Amino acid sequence: MKKRYTRRDFLKHAGIGAASLAAGPALLNNVFAQTPGKRTLRILQWSHFVPSHDKWFDVYAKEWGEKNNVDVVVDHIGLADLRSTFAAEVAAGKGHDIVEFIDPPSDFEPAVLDLADLNQEAVKRFGKQLPVATKSSYNPHTKKYYGFCHGWTIDPGDYRKSLWEKAGKPNGPATWDDLLVYGAKIKNEQGVQLGIGISQELDSNMAERTLLWSFDTSIQDESSNVVLDNPKTVEAVKFMIELYQKTMTPEVFGWTAASNNQLLLAGRASYILNSISAYRSAQKDVPEVAKDVFFTPALKGPRGTAHACEHVIYVTMVPKFAEKNADLAKRFLLDRVANYDRAMWESKLYNSPAFFSAPVPAGERGYPAVAKSKSLRDLHNAWFGKDPFALPGERTDKLLPLMDAEKWSVNVGYPGAANPAEGEIFGTFVLPGMFARVAQGKQTAEESVKQAAGQCKIIFDKWRAQGLIGKK
Amino acid sequence: MRMPRLFERETVLAPLMLVPVALYMLLLVGFPFLMAFVYSFSNVTVGNPEFHMTGFGNFSAVLRDPVFLKSLLNTCIFTFTSIGLVLVLSNMLTELLMREFRFKWLIRFLIMLPWTAPIALGTIGYLWFLDSVFSPLDWLLRSWGLLGKPQALLGPMSNLYWLGRPGLAMASVIVVHIWRLLPLATMIRIAGMNSIPREVIEAAQVDGAGYYRRLFHIVLPLLLPVISVTVLFSTLFTFTDMTVVWVLTKGGPPDNSTQVLASLAFLKGIQGGDLAQGAAVSLFFFPVLAGLAAVVLRLAKKAVVT
């Protein structure tokens, strides 16, 4: 017979439910509790675009823990959730011991430890750090290392060689003007467009900064003053509008970060600005397209300047609430740099080191030994000279133009350091808006630049008041 | 074991049974709301939980921001167009589903389908549907000769670029939001229709009232309480929701063509790091929405009484 559910049963079960609700915070508290006798190091980072990297890293972290008598827990989450997750941890005062971002998270500076000692030790052990890395993890105003940068990713131009050969430019564009002239020719004669986004997403943000820098202008100067409203920015905006009108379609306004990859893989883009991950995806999914994809370094602007934004910058932070594990975190991060050859290899050369002079560890490293490679620079040069991941029958020298990418790659905020104002301008898509208003005929280039500069000044003033950016 | 006599008393038991709901409201609704309220008058950032009170500074800064004003306009367009169309469409669907026909269960099932999948997942499906390269909708239009040819009705381009053109992008987010809201609105309307006594409708029919007279003079007035509640919840829900916009356009195409207040609050507060201004944006229309809620609830109550 079916048992009748009485009011008393209900009260009893409701009581258990209420007790569980009350115990909830205590249970949550235990999630971040230490295991007695053995310390635990918790790491939060993004799910890498190249899955083999995470597969290796998780094993590496576990083995590192075993060697150091530490439980290492690695949580990978989607890139889009990283900021909100860490913001929640900062508000709660509890969470992971190491948090890794792929853009400069300078607005979290007040919530994290100063890693000056870690950075100094790393320089002592591994040699000079690349400026793009230092400028993405050090605040020159507060003189605080809010992060530690172990690596970065190059952001080259990816072009379809067969299309550019037919257009009479077999080695792809060397200047922004080439992009306009030959890009238009390819679109008109071969029906294939360019793929540089003007959308509210990451890649468009980087592309527009790349264009501004190559036109000798920027949002801020070296001393964090807003200098966007100048004739060179207007020139860059006018150029971009002409480029859009002659070589692209309205789809570039509605792109997500994956759209330019998709366009390249679909064989419908003659040139995109993206890391080599787009090419690696093509190698896996559409090898015939991959074999036709080649790379250019940063394109030269009208006065010969050539800069490109780093595509990814790995900045790790140790929150103040994790101070008791700071020694472990710093040891882990130093060892991570010491093993960066594996990160380069397992990410299929997506990761480049911030410390090129770091020595290559001896012994079996999980990849074919490279003769005479003593430092990461030697390895980098050898692999970029002869790509070990090239498909059978594919040219192996495609990455050669990117060998010295650190010379033309710069940080968000260049020529100054990364700061929270640059971060907010990046995160709220002020630059894509500046270009789009003109492309859609809503404003002249001069008006749009003035509006964007006004928005930037308000944002800079706000963060100045927070004490994170220097006075004018 | 007998329960203490105290629990047999309604004056004790009733408040006791309300405790879980009250706790839930207090902890998961009241406390975050209070925090947002305090934050909106402060200079708090995501990276610095310590803050100072700054008065109405955030609100005046937000009011001077052209992106806020644009987002406000977009929110009104998004909300009122969606709700208006949901009302009309749910009325049509209700009329259809109140009649007997073959495979009615299948139609009901299909209409309810959007509620069975998480909205983010469904919207990702639409992302593919409206893709700038692979859109099956564009493929259909091309195959019907409406797109991609020099003389085609919708233009010579191979795609419509739904999410790349401001007007089409706004239309897209509205259509997807309607797809999301329509099942609930329809089911509420059907429930309301079922509660109208059949003899009232039949008496009107006998007196010679046609379809539109019955609809506007009998059915809709009797349904007013139900419609009021539907409108209230749909409006509040749409005004404060960002899922569809965030997944489809992230507020784009630039310059913030589909940005709504909820997505702007997230953009400023979390992506931009300025938690205080994000809170100010999200709370800006709280008094208006609270007033709207009070008016509609009063209207519904009055309609029930008369």
Q: Cα B224 vs. chain centroid, distance in angstroms?
A: 19
Count: domains in chain B: 1
Q: Flag whether A6 is in a domain.
A: no
Percentage, residues of chain A above pLDDT 90: 90
Quick one: tokens of A177?
């003007």
pLDDT at position B86: 94
CATH assignment of the domain containing B163? 1.10.3720.10
CB contact under 8 Å between B256 and A420, yes or no, is no
| Closest-CA distance of chain A to residue B115, Å | 24
Scan for tokens 């509790």, then name that residue.
Answer: A33
Q: Is A360 helix (H, G, I), strand (E, B) or coil?
A: coil
**What's the CATH number where A63 sits?**
3.40.190.10
Which pLDDT band, with edges at 50, 70 and 90, does A7 fall under? very low
CA distances (Å), origin A4, targets A135, B1, B4, B16? 69, 16, 20, 22
The per-residue pLDDT for A199 is: 95
Distances (CA, A) of A360 to A53, A315, B140: 18, 22, 56
How does residue A191 score in pLDDT terms, banded at 50, 70 and 90?
very high
pLDDT over 70 (residue A142)? yes
Q: Is A102 a member of any domain?
A: yes
Q: Which residues in chain B land under pLDDT 70?
A: 1-3, 300, 302-306
Asked if B43 lies within 8 A of A465 by C-beta distance, the reply is: yes
pLDDT for position A26 = 46
| Per-residue model confidence as pLDDT tens digits over A349-397 | 999 999 999 999 999 999 999 999 999 999 999 999 999 999 999 999 9
Separation CA B264–CA A335 (nearest Å) = 41
Query: Which one of A353, A385, A417 terminates a domain?
Result: A385
pLDDT (tens digit, 9 = 90+) per residue, A202-229? 999 999 999 999 999 999 999 999 999 9
Q: Whole-angstrom distance between the N-terminal and C-terminal Cα of chain A? A: 81
Whether residue A400 is contained in a domain is answered as no
Judging contacts by C-beta atoms under 8 Å, the chain B residues touching residue A21 are 20, 23
C-alpha span between A60 and A336 (Å, rounded): 9
Q: A285 and A231, same structural domain?
A: yes
pLDDT value at residue B122: 86
Provide mean pLDDT across the span A41-52: 95
Which amino acid would we find at residue A31?
V
Closest to B109 in 3D by CA, of B100, B97, B121 = B97
Q: Decide if B273 and A249 are in contact by the 8 Å CB cutoff.
A: no
- Chain A residues close to B161, C-beta within 8 Å: 249-251, 253-254
Give chain A's mean pLDDT.
92
- Rounded Cα distance between A109 and A419, Å, is 10
Task: Kindly state whether residues A447 and A303 are assigned to the same domain.
Answer: yes
| Chain B residue whose CA is closest to A421 | B272
The C-alpha atoms of residue A283 and residue A278 are separated, in whole angstroms, by: 9
| Nearest CB to A200 within list B66, B251, B275 | B251
Can you read off the two tokens belonging to residue B219? 């059915």
Residues A216, A232: contact at Cβ < 8 Å? yes
C-alpha–C-alpha distance, residues B225 and A359, integer Å: 75
HSE-CB of B94 using CA atoms within 13 angstroms: 23
Give pLDDT, residue A448: 97
Please state the separation of Cα A36 from the chain's center in Å. Answer: 37
Looking at the complex, report in whole angstroms how far the Cα of residue B127 sits from the nearest Cα belonging to chain A: 10
Same domain? For A241 and A369 the reply is no
Contact B45 A259 (CB under 8 A): no
Q: Assess if residue B183 is contained within a domain.
A: yes
Across the interface, do B66 and A18 touch by the CB < 8 Å criterion?
no
**Residue B212 is part of which domain span?**
59-305
Are the C-beta atoms of residues A163 and A289 closer than 8 Å to each other? no
pLDDT of A21 above 50: no
In this complex, the residue of A93, A253, A424 whose CB is nearest that of residue B273 is: A424
pLDDT at B3: 63
- Which domain-ending residue is among A385, A418, A448? A385
CB < 8 Å to A17, chain B: 20
Range with the lowest mean pLDDT among A225-229, A305-309, A445-449, B280-284?
B280-284
pLDDT at A6 over 70: no
Which residue of B49, B163, B267 is in closest CB contact with A254? B163
CA distance A339 to B103: 64
Q: Is A267 on the interface with B (CB under 8 A)?
A: no
Contact call for B50 and A110, based on CB within 8 A: yes
Instruction: Please report whether residue A402 resides in a domain.
Output: no
Q: pLDDT grade, residue A196 (50/70/90)?
A: very high
Same domain? A164 vs A304: yes
Residues A289 and A347 in one domain: no
Distances (CA, A) of A69 to A17, A66, A72, A99, A334: 39, 5, 9, 21, 17
Identify the pLDDT of residue B302. Answer: 66
Domain boundary among A324, A353, A385: A385
Whether residues B273 and A427 touch (CB distance < 8 A) is answered with yes
- pLDDT, position A36: 57
Is B273 in contact with A256 (Cβ distance < 8 A)? no
Given A250, A435, A458, which is nearest B161 (Cβ)?
Answer: A250
Q: Does A230 share its domain with A126?
A: no
pLDDT above 70 covers a percentage of chain A that reads: 92
d(CA A226, CA B273): 19
Q: Are residues A72 and A205 in the same domain?
A: no
Higher-confidence residue: B23 or A20?
Answer: B23
The 10 Å CB-count burial string (b at 16+, else e) for A305-324 is ebbbbbbbbbbbbbbebbee
Residues A396-432 have pLDDT tens digits of 999 999 999 999 999 999 999 999 999 999 999 999 9
- Do A96 and A127 lie in a common domain? yes
CA distance, residue A436 to nearest chain B CA (Å): 6
Residues A366 and A412 in one domain: no
pLDDT at B1: 53
Q: Total domain count for chain A?
A: 2
Q: Is the pLDDT of residue A35 over 60?
A: no
A30 pLDDT above the threshold of 80: no
| A441 Rama class: left (phi>0) / alpha (psi -120 to 50) / beta | left
Confidence grade of residue A472 (pLDDT, cut at 50, 70, 90): low
CB B54 within 8 A of CB B40: no
In a domain, A66, yes or no: yes
Whether residues A433 and B254 touch (CB distance < 8 A) is answered with yes
Whether A209 and A271 share a structural domain: yes
Query: Which residue among B3, B127, B267 sits closest to A428, beta carbon to beta carbon?
Result: B267
B146 by Cβ neighbours in 10 Å (0-12 / 13-18 / 19+) ranks as: middle
Given CB atoms, is A100 within the 8 Å cutoff of chain B? no
CB distance A423–B273 less than 8 Å? yes
Domain assignment of residue B47, yes or no? no
Q: Are residues A381 and A250 in the same domain?
A: no
User: Is A281 within the bounds of a domain?
Assistant: yes
Average pLDDT over residues A4-13: 46
B199 in any annotated domain: yes
Residue A162 shares a structural domain with residue A147: no
| Cα–Cα distance for residue pair B149/B294, rounded to 1 Å | 54
Average pLDDT taken over every residue of chain B: 89
Instruction: Respond yes or no on whether the N-terminal peptide bond of residue B255 is cis (omega within 30° of 0).
Output: yes
Does some domain include residue B11?
A: no
CA–CA distance, A81 with A447 (Å, rounded to integer): 35
Which range of residues forms the domain containing residue A135? Answer: 39-153+311-385
Q: Which residue of A has its CA nearest to B169?
A: A254
